[in-house]
């Protein structure tokens, strides 16, 4: 049983995201992800015009004549959401927290996936993996994922992105599309992300709250690190302090952008409270253009 308030939130997200999928993302998801996976079909003798890169050297050596591998397009994808639910995600200065924004974004992508008959799975993590929902199809399954995202109470407060990536690598054998959703306050995850990006179609989604990049002039305030409990008092009445805070926020955003670019990992930056549907559509279009140039 779930509370009336939670049921209302889930219903709102279902209606909102379903409308967004039909109105704004129609065709975007399918054109971007469909057909990118290929599975082995059979081996046959080489024919003039075949791509020599598909030659199966083992069969060729065994039979004495060149053979090539044939592949067929995979019609079904597996989409996995790797969602950071550490304590810093419980913060929000808009109508919702960063974790609630993550839930809406996952719902939007999940409904896009099941509309195209794809499977959807979920991993919730802090400094340990706290919940794993294996990939499956259907609206009921997506609603379960939304419910878990909204009502799950993490046991831990800190962040370990590396551990979550390593866990996902252990429980998945088939290549899929992985959305890593976090505010990325963790450290030391660069190499595991590079490895994951080679095994899966990895997309980093960074969620930032407006108050993490700018502060209003409200005098003395006390700020607390949600994950460590460390506190600091700052004077927002000082223009120099506010400018320094904004500069640090801008540097961090630019640093994340450079980091993901260096990993060759696609990056979607989401600002809590902003229209992320249009951001997602723009991201899909940019990504599709880039992939076309690479082909």
More confidently predicted of 40 and 128: 128
**Can you tell me which residue has the tokens 């057909």?**
35
Residue span of the structural domain in which 49 resides: 38-73
* Residue-wise pLDDT tens digits, 155-209: 999 999 999 999 999 999 888 999 999 999 988 999 999 999 999 999 999 999 9
Same-domain status, 85 and 167? yes
The closest alpha carbon to 161, from 197, 133, 124, 135, belongs to 124
CATH classification of the domain holding 151: 3.40.50.410
What does the block give as tokens for 224?
């607390």
15/109 same-domain check: yes
Q: HSE, CB side, 13 Å, CA atoms: give it for residue 7.
A: 4
Q: What is the pLDDT of residue 26?
A: 62
65 lies in the same domain as 108? no
Domain count, the chain: 2
pLDDT beyond 90 at 289: no
CA distance to 29, 34, 185, 292, per residue, from 279 (Å): 14, 21, 22, 20
- Shared domain check, 202 and 114: yes
Token pair recorded at residue 179? 């959305």
Query: Is residue 36 scored above 60 in pLDDT?
Result: no
Residue 112 CA to residue 20 CA, distance in Å, equals 9
Q: Please tell me whether residues 63 and 197 are part of one structural domain.
A: no
Final residue before a domain boundary, out of 73, 95, 122: 73
Give the percent of the chain with pLDDT over 70.
Answer: 92
Same domain, yes or no, for 170 and 26?
Answer: yes
pTM of structure: 0.85
Distance CA 288, CA 143 (A): 28
Cβ neighbours for 96, distance < 8 A, ≥ 6 positions apart: 104, 272, 273
SS (H, E, C) the chain: CCCHHHHHHHHHHHHHHHHHHHHCCCCHHHHHHCCCCEEEEEEEECCCCCCHHHECHHHHHHHCCCEEEEEEECCCCEEEEEEECCHHHHCCCCCCCHHHHHHHHHHHHHHHHHHCCCEEEEEEECCCEEEEEEEECCHHHHHHHHHHHHHCCCCCCCCCHHHHHHHHHHHCCCCCEEEEEECCCCCCCHHHHHHHHHHCEEEEEEEECHHHCCCCCCCEEEEECCCCCCEEEEECCCHHHHHHHHHHHHHHHHHHHHHHHHHCCEEEEEECCCCHHHHHHHHHHHHHHHHHHHC
Do 285 and 141 lie in one domain? The reply is yes
pLDDT in tens, 203-228: 999 999 999 999 999 999 999 999 99
pLDDT for 34 beyond 60: no
Q: What is the pLDDT of residue 294?
A: 62
Of 73, 97, 124, the position where a domain reaches its end is 73
Same domain, 263 and 279: yes
Phi, psi dihedrals of residue 141, rounded to the nearest 5°: -65, -45
Give the chain's mean pLDDT. 89
Same domain, 209 and 64: no
Q: In the predicted model, is pLDDT for residue 35 greater than 50?
A: no
Single residue among 50, 73, 96 that ends a domain in this structure: 73
Distance separating alpha carbons of residues 102 and 124, to the nearest angstrom: 11
Asked if pLDDT for residue 118 goes beyond 80, the answer is yes
């Amino acid at each position: 049983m779930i509370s009336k308030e939670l049921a209302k939130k889930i219903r709102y997200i279902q209606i909102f995201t379903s409308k967004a999928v039909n109105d704004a993302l129609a065709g975007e998801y399918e054109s971007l992800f469909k057909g990118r996976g290929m599975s082995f079909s059979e081996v046959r003798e080489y024919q003039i015009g075949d791509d020599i890169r598909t030659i199966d050297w083992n069969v060729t050596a065994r039979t004495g004549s060149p053979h090539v591998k044939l592949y067929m397009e995979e019609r079904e994808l597996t989409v996995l959401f790797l969602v950071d639910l550490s304590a810093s995600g419980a913060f929000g200065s808009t109508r919702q927290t960063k974790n609630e924004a993550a839930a809406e974004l996952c719902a939007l992508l999940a409904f896009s996936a099941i509309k195209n008959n794809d499977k959807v799975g979920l991993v919730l993590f802090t400094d340990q993996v706290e919940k794993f929902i294996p990939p499956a199809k259907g609206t009921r399954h997506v609603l379960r994922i939304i419910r878990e995202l909204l009502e799950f109470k993490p046991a831990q407060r800190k962040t370990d992105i590396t551990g979550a990536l390593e866990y996902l690598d252990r429980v998945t054998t088939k290549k899929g599309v992985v959305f890593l959703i976090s505010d990325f306050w963790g450290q030391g995850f660069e190499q595991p992300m590079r490895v994951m990006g080679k095994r899966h179609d990895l997309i980093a989604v960074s969620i930032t709250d407006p108050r993490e990049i700018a502060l209003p002039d409200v005098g003395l305030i006390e700020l607390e690190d949600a994950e460590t409990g460390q506190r600091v008092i700052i004077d927002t009445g000082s223009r120099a302090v506010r400018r320094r805070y904004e500069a640090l926020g801008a540097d961090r955003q630019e640093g994340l952008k450079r980091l993901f670019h260096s990993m060759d990992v696609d990056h979607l930056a989401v600002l809590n409270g902003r229209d992320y549907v249009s951001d997602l559509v723009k991201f899909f279009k940019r990504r599709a253009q880039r992939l076309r140039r690479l082909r």
